[in-house]
Amino acid sequence: MSIETQISGISVKVYSTSSDASEAVANEITQEITTRDHCVLGLATGGTPVGCYQRLVEQHRNSGLSFADVTTFNLDEYIGLAADHPQSYRAFMQTQLFDHVDVRRERTWIPNGVAEDVSLECTTYESRIREAGGIDLQLLGLGHNGHIAFNEPGSPLESRTRQVELTPETIQKNARFFADDESVPRHAITMGIATILEARRIVMLVTGSSKAAAVSAMVEGPVGVECPASLLRNHPRVQLIVDEAAAGKLDVS
């Protein structure tokens, strides 16, 4: 059971639980894969999309959902972490999704965190997206301060895939995953806001009461770079899927 409305031009669907919201997003991705030849997906990492990926794996195993003709591009990767590092986003995607479906590894693109020339890697990543025909559906999460990917407040609207410096908060949160403070990544490669906005469709999944303020700022606050997610209101096909906790006090009546 969901409530659907439009707020500031964004389609908003509110589900009772995070599980229901994750399933709804998985269904959107499944529909994109099954109705579009050679689908190109933009994918996200972090705790929020894990439930969505679990449901995609279930659909692959139980309903024959095939990823054989799917191409994927991830939003970001830590600089300094090789693909086989357990805390890399490549490792995350392999563990959560890629190892459990029939996607071809050569069609799963994630920035190279140990590229000798980071600037060239960023330029090449943009070229690969264009050569694939662009992203059909981009999956996004939402940061507490309104960031999307590693585009923190103040990131330029015209930004492209580039190297960014991680915030002290992000570095502190990541410290528990590493043996010592010195090994925690300080930089990342991330798709830019302009890159994200070029996707044909954007589906954002947000769960939990801790994100309610960010959701409100995204759809009800001013549009501008101080809340990068608010810039999605400039896109014609954005779907925001949230649980009741993340919806907070949004007027969805």
Is 152 a residue of the active site? yes
Which among 28, 77, 152, 244 is annotated as catalytic? 152
Is 136 a residue of the active site? no
Say if CB 229 and CB 142 are below 8 A apart: yes
Which among 126, 145, 174, 226 is annotated as catalytic? 145
Is 151 a residue of the active site? no
Which among 74, 77, 147, 151 is annotated as catalytic? 147
CA distances from 38 to 26, 48, 78, 165, 209 (A): 18, 26, 28, 34, 37
Which among 23, 32, 76, 77 is annotated as catalytic? 76
C-alpha 156/C-alpha 140 separation (Å) is 18
C-alpha 148/C-alpha 205 separation (Å) is 11
Catalytic annotation, residues = 76, 145, 147, 152
